[in-house]
Structure 1
Amino acid sequence: MAGKWTGGIVTGTNGDEPPTVEEWVPVTVPGRSTAFTGADGPIAYRTTFADPRRFSAERTRLTLRGAYGRARVWLNGTLLGEHSPYFVPAQFDFDPQETNELLVVCEPLDESGAGGIYGTDAVPAETGVPGIWWGVELQVRPPTFVSSLAAVPRLTDDGAEIEAEVTVDAGEAIDDAVTLSLRPEGFRGGGSMERVAVRADAGERVTVSKSLEVRDPSLWWPRGYGPQHRYTVRAKVGEESAERTVGLRTIERDEEGLVVNGRRVRVRGINRRPSVGEDASEDVRRAIDANATLVRARGHVPSSDFYAACDEAGLLVWQDIPLAGDEFEFDVDRATALLESIATTYGSHPSLAMYGIRDDPSEPFADPLGSGTLAKLRFRWRAWRASGGHADADAAAVAATVPDDRPVVSVAGQPGLDPAAAHLSPGWRYLEADDVDWLLERYPDLGRVVGDVEAGSLSDTAESSDPTSIPGLDASILERRADGVEASQTVQAATLKTVVEALRRHGSGILVAGTLRDAATGGGVGVLSADGTTKPAFDALADAYEPVQAVLDGPAEPGSVGLALLNETSERVDTTVAWRAGDEGGEISAVADAFVSTPLETVEIPSTASELTLEFAVDGRPVRNSYRL
């Protein structure tokens, strides 16, 4: 919706009457108006527009996408309604005048934890400024039109079907039929067409449904496992139509990870935190560059553009409920309602692979631990002390409401909480990165499903920043680990590489490590800076996530060191690994069956070497891994 917008801080309210704003300033809508960061109270946004209709019988509808906070909408002084949550499109039908004033007020969420990650110090305050983040659309429709279309795909014993539910808004009496058509997108396949009768009196809104059969269905696969086939469902009444694009696939979780379309899939993921200038397609592209097969939307719900990009790219999504923090009482009813809204809004996207219910309910390792034997004893003590009473029945109750078409993680958190997905921080919050093998041997369940591997660093803009003021970065840990930009980035890269490779050697089925980009300038836990600049950790993670990779089976140091070949493909790999360290080197024949870590020969690294490199080829494609010694 083009036009000039102004915004201002609400200074007074009067029930259903428009609020008072003392000062209006130019703003950009959609987007985040950072000028209002830290404002105490609701933010108002207004614009004017002319009657968009050509004929008086036409209908008008306003759609807001990403209206964050409690949104209240006035048109020409009349309250159209209220709306939340932000990730569900807000739609209002209205009768326009010759000239119209639209006023949208977004009020901050006042319940603790209700804003998800936006209510925590993991992201800058400007990231969660109430406003219209994603889009404003003004639609002009005929008297009778397709108001909404939902399409739910499912595989059956005989093939597949898509259950289409169509809502028709009848401005005039109608006795007709909705034409439903199905077509494959970008590939050869069977389409179909059905008609379903629709009858309504003038002013009625009716819903009809019909199952569309998919003959010889072509499936949607995660990236690297097959093509991303999708189908478009179209509902038409008269000349008016609506479309939805869906994918056909099944997804299950067992003891070894995810199974998609009956086939084992190894999940190698990365966390995503929201940012002021977020670009859905760019984030998807960079995640793929890092060899990730999944993105975890941690503590927030991304836009529909993000999901569409993941559908197209074959990138899986782990979607958290947007409730976060350890300082609030978990509201089962609110969590259940949010989960239902997410499923309704995004459930037809094949990329939506799994749900997360509760994130970091408590922090037994908020105070960092050092390294060595004494630190291991303290780690065990904290983990033992934290384990009592943290079987999160509330999260389990919400998880039980999830349909069986998608896996669910009830609790993701730190060791000691008996989490369904572990957050691990060796080499950062506690111990050293090399202690990850001890950790996994002592607590083997921690490696089955991992929701985060944490390590942070400063960015190149940090010279003018105070580390203690950088959201999402614990300055006290940073001070202990490294001094300065270059050193911190080196430590971050080495930590992620060491822990991720160890988790792969130990057979982690679902592994999410690191965060895609810093939430703020100056630094953070991202492998990219806030502006997208690559940190060394990005390449380190990309190497560690190679589907087939040769790795060290122990610390990177001179002496006798074992090697291993990781194979997370469904095919047997037969290759030759060439290694070099200083003036020494050689070749090792390596064979690894599907989805296993195979030990290789031991190599002798001379004390004079500063780097070890491992090189081999898979199907003619060169793969390289390297270690600083």
Structure 2
Amino acid sequence: TVLGVDHRHQQPLAAGENRVEWTVRVPRPQLWWPHELGDQPLFEVTLTITTEDSVVSDRATRRIGFRSVRMRDHIWRINGERLFLRGGIVPPLRLDLAQVTPESATADVAHARDTGLNLLRLAAHVSHPALYDAADEAGMLVWQDLPMRGGYHRSIRGQAMRQAREMVDLLGHHPSIIVWCGHDAPDQADTTRPAPSLLEQQRPNWNRTVLDRSIRRALRRTDSSRPVIAHTGVLPSPPVVEDAATHLRFGWYGGRADDLTEFLRRSPRAGGFVAAFGAHSVPDIDPELLGLDPTRWPRPDWSRLTGDPDGELEVLLGLFPPDDHPDLATWADATRSHQAEVLRIQIEAMRRRKYQPCGGFALDRLLDAEPCISGSLLDHDRQPKPAHAAVTTACATTIVVADPLPRRLRQGATLLTDVAVVHDGREDLGLTRIDAHLDIAGETLTWAWEGEIGADSSVHVGRIEWPTGNAQGGIELALVLSAGGVTAANRYASTVAGV
């Protein structure tokens, strides 16, 4: 029964499992939309199985929404409307999933929406049913992974394909789910490299080449209505560049946060969809919840650390040596500031490459299930880190951005930075004015541009070029956008040092 209309289908069945498909036409239904594009009408569908003598054998009711999803080269369209995906990884909401309630799941989805996100990436797990219901109701898109991470023995291929089919059977009625992904990070991460090695990944191995392709085939056969991606953490390579999504860890595994900009300039396809990025930080909570004794700083017993679910303490200690900080609180604060800066710079870099060719991203991660050191924006009590405010600003509907300034400039060098406007709104901004103010040593230089900014666009506005000459000291670049009732601002800082 769909929208009060009964549809009947007779089917002979064999012993054992039978998979039956048929098409039901629903004329001009109300469409389900992501929250920034429209409403989320939901309808109940009831399937009743009866025998030849009209005895009811089974009955199931599901809540559905009508919408279409298309993806090509990681450019996504929902009901034909192009949409840039601003996402975040979501781990299990609680260590004990039984503690999740419809109210808590709805609150977590609201946190994502308030942060400016339109996608939740459920990495390597199936979540509580309440999360999918909340996403359906809120218009929050979902990227659903099969519960697989890392390498596996060859004997699991059949079981993995069976689980892929069962995952679709379990969750396929949710309109919020727009993509299935077979395998999260099939290759072990190299924590000394911020980006995977394309040469190494072009060598076939059983997990990527055999297992993941088998899972992808099983998912496509079971559900042809959604895109399927074989794996994440893998650089795209011919013949199907959209079959993978990268993990890029600049500013965490190596390099600086702004190195991502140059990497994407040299390897634009690697930025088609970035499925994990960011940096870990220490939450602002009682250190004893993490197993740390602040009185023993800078030599706490790291072996007692209870909150390192990703096993990346060595990376954190390499970036922030305890001996460089007077106490644990100062050290922890430095990690949080670094995380905020990494996410801000990298989200701006990807958004300004919108559809050229970047189709979206999923930061690592939105929240924690337990007290821990991680890349989360919200701790286990859903208290925000500084990165939360940085991401909220960087994910605003309209932003004005510049290339990150060098940390230090030498006297006599020339400052060069390009300015752009990114607008995810569905209506044109119209005539827009951008003012840039560069302050150094009490002197202010000004640039201004005016022009039309269209809907769902990323527009290069102009370039700032300034010879430093004999100037010395801190500099600040302030950008201000105004277009009718829309305003946006941004700031960047650097230093000019003597020769």
User: Normalization by structure 1: what TM-score?
Assistant: 0.61
> What's the CA shift for 1:550?
0.8
Tell me the distance in 2 between the aligned counterparts of 1:481 and 1:329. Answer: 37
- 2:248: which partner in 1? 424
Aligned to 2:15: none
Q: Given that residues 460 and 522 in structure 1 are in contact (C-alpha distance below 8 angstroms), is that contact kept between their aligned partners in structure 2?
A: no
2:341 is the counterpart of 1:494: yes
Q: d(CA) in 2 for partners of 1:330 and 1:293? A: 37
Instruction: Give yes or no for the alignment of 1:281 onto 2:106.
Output: yes
Q: Which residue of 2 aligns with 1:441?
A: 265
Tell me what 2:41 maps to.
229
Counterpart in the other structure of 1:577: 434
Question: For the residues of structure 1 that align with 2:483 and 2:317, how far apart are their CA atoms?
Answer: 41
1:548 maps to 2:366: no
Deviation at 1:345, TM superposition (A): 1.3
1:308 maps to amino acid: D
Compute the displacement of 1:358 (Å).
1.0
Deviates more, 1:607-616 or 1:438-447: 607-616
**Counterpart in the other structure of 2:461:** 600
Corresponding residue for residue 387 of structure 1 = 202
Supply the distance in 1 between the matched residues of 2:107 and 2:480 (Cα, whole angstroms): 30
Alpha-carbon RMSD across the aligned residues, in angstroms, is: 3.4
Equivalence for 1:216: 28
> In proportion to residue count, which structure has more helix?
2
Deviation per residue, 1:105-128 (Å, 9 max, x gap)? xxxxxxxxxxxxxxxxxxxxxxxx
Indicate which of 419, 439, 457 corresponds to 1:563.
Answer: 419
1:197-596 matches, within 5 Å, as: 213-233=25-45, 243-274=61-92, 275-276=94-95, 278=100, 279-326=104-151, 328-329=153-154, 331-366=156-191, 368-369=192-193, 382-390=197-205, 391-401=208-218, 402=220, 403-415=223-235, 420-461=244-285, 463-464=287-288, 465=290, 466=292, 469=305, 470-472=308-310, 474-482=312-320, 484-507=331-354, 508-555=358-405, 559-574=415-430, 575-580=432-437, 582=439, 584=444, 587-596=448-457
Q: Cα distance 1:432–1:335, how it changes in 2: closer, same or farther (>3 A)?
A: same
The one-letter amino acid of 2:332's match is V
Larger mean CA deviation between 519-528 and 566-575 belongs to 566-575
Match of 2:296 in 1: none
Q: How many pairs are equivalent?
A: 423
> Cα distance, 1:590 vs. partner?
4.5
**2: distance between equivalents of 1:504 and 1:330?**
41
Is the Cα contact below 8 Å between 1:269 and 1:295 reproduced in 2? yes
Aligned partner of 1:564: which letter? A
Q: Which one has more relative contact order, counting CA pairs under 8 Å at least 6 apart?
A: 2
In structure 2, do the counterparts of structure 1 residues 358 and 627 end up closer, same or farther at CA, with 3 Å as the change threshold?
same
Cα deviation, residue 555, structure 1: 3.0
CA distance in 1, matches of 2:87, 2:61: 31
Aligned mates of 2:90, 2:47 — CA distance in 1: 35
Q: Which amino acid aligns with 1:576?
A: R
Following the alignment from structure 1 to structure 2, what is the Cα–Cα distance between the partners of residues 613 and 330?
Answer: 58
8 Å contact kept, 2:309–2:372? no
- In 1, the alpha carbon distance for the partners of 2:129 and 2:462 equals 49
- Residue type matched to 1:232 in 2? E
Post-superposition offset of 1:477: 1.4
Secondary structure at 1:299 match in 2: coil
Bigger CA drift: 475-484 or 616-625?
Answer: 616-625
Deviation per CA, 1:411-445: give whole Å up to 9, x if none: 11155998710011001002111111221133222
Instruction: Specify whether residues 222 and 487 from structure 1 end up closer, same or farther in structure 2 by C-alpha distance, changes over 3 A only.
Output: same
Amino acid at match of 1:230: L
Preserved contact between residue 421 and residue 451 of structure 1 (Cα < 8 Å): yes
For the 8 Å contact 1:384–1:416, the answer to whether it is kept is no
Deviation, structure 1 residue 569: 3.8
Deviations 1:121-165 (A, max 9, x none): xxxxxxxxxxxxxxxxxxxxxxxxxxxxxxxxxxxxxxxxxxxxx
1:255 is aligned with what amino acid? D
Q: Residue 403 of structure 2 contacts residue 417 of structure 2 at CA under 8 Å; is this kept in 1?
A: yes
- What is the CA distance between 1:611 and its match in structure 2? 5.0
Shift of 1:242: 6.5
Distance 1:537 1:473 in 2: 21
Deviation at 1:616, TM superposition (A): 2.9
Q: CA deviation at 1:597?
A: 2.4
The answer to whether the 8 A contact 1:496-1:514 is kept is: no
Q: What is the rounded CA distance, in whole Å, between the counterparts of 1:542 and 1:291 in structure 2?
A: 6
The whole-number CA distance in structure 1 between the counterparts of 2:89 and 2:128 is 16
Provide closer, same or farther for how the CA distance between residues 263 and 462 of structure 1 changes in structure 2, counting only shifts above 3 A.
same
Q: Secondary structure at the match of 2:365?
A: strand
Max radius of gyration: which structure?
1
Cα 1:197–1:595 shift into 2, 3 Å: closer
1:273 to partner: Cα distance: 0.6
For 2:345, the aligned partner's letter is T
Residue of structure 2 aligned with 1:620, choices 471, 485, 491: 485
Q: 1:485 to 1:524 in 2, by over 3 A?
A: same
CA 195–338 in structure 1, closer or farther in 2 if over 3 Å, else same: closer
Question: SS state of the match for residue 319, structure 1?
Answer: strand
Between 588-597 and 471-480, the greater mean CA deviation after superposition: 588-597
User: Does the 8 A contact of 1:496 with 1:541 survive in 2?
Assistant: yes
Cα pair distance change 1:210/1:355, threshold 3 Å: closer
Q: Distance in 1 between matches of 2:39 and 2:79?
A: 12
Counterpart amino acid of 1:265? L
Corresponding residue of 1:23: none
5+ unaligned residues in a row in structure 1: which ranges?
1-179, 183-191, 199-206, 371-378
Percent identical = 25
Relative to structure 1, the CA distance from residue 416 to residue 356 in structure 2 (aligned partners, 3 Å threshold; closer, same or farther) is closer
Query: Which segment is superposed worse, 411-420 or 556-565?
Result: 411-420
SS at match of 1:292: coil
Q: Which has the higher strand share?
A: 1
- Decide whether the 8 Å contact of 2:350 with 2:360 is kept in 1: no
Is the Cα contact below 8 Å between 1:523 and 1:529 reproduced in 2? no
Contact (CA 8 Å) 1:591, 1:598: kept in 2 or not? no
- Classify 1:306/1:233 alpha carbon distance in 2 versus 1 (closer, same or farther; 3 Å): same
Provide closer, same or farther for how the CA distance between residues 319 and 241 of structure 1 changes in structure 2, counting only shifts above 3 A. Answer: closer
- Could you say if the C-alpha distance between residues 428 and 217 of structure 1 is closer, same or farther in structure 2, counting changes exceeding 3 Å? same
Partner of 2:251, secondary structure, is: coil
Preserved contact between residue 87 and residue 362 of structure 2 (Cα < 8 Å)? yes
SS at match of 2:67: coil
Q: How far is the alpha carbon of 1:447 from its aligned partner?
A: 0.3
Is contact 1:448-1:510 (8 Å) kept?
Answer: yes
Note the C-alpha offset of 1:211.
7.0
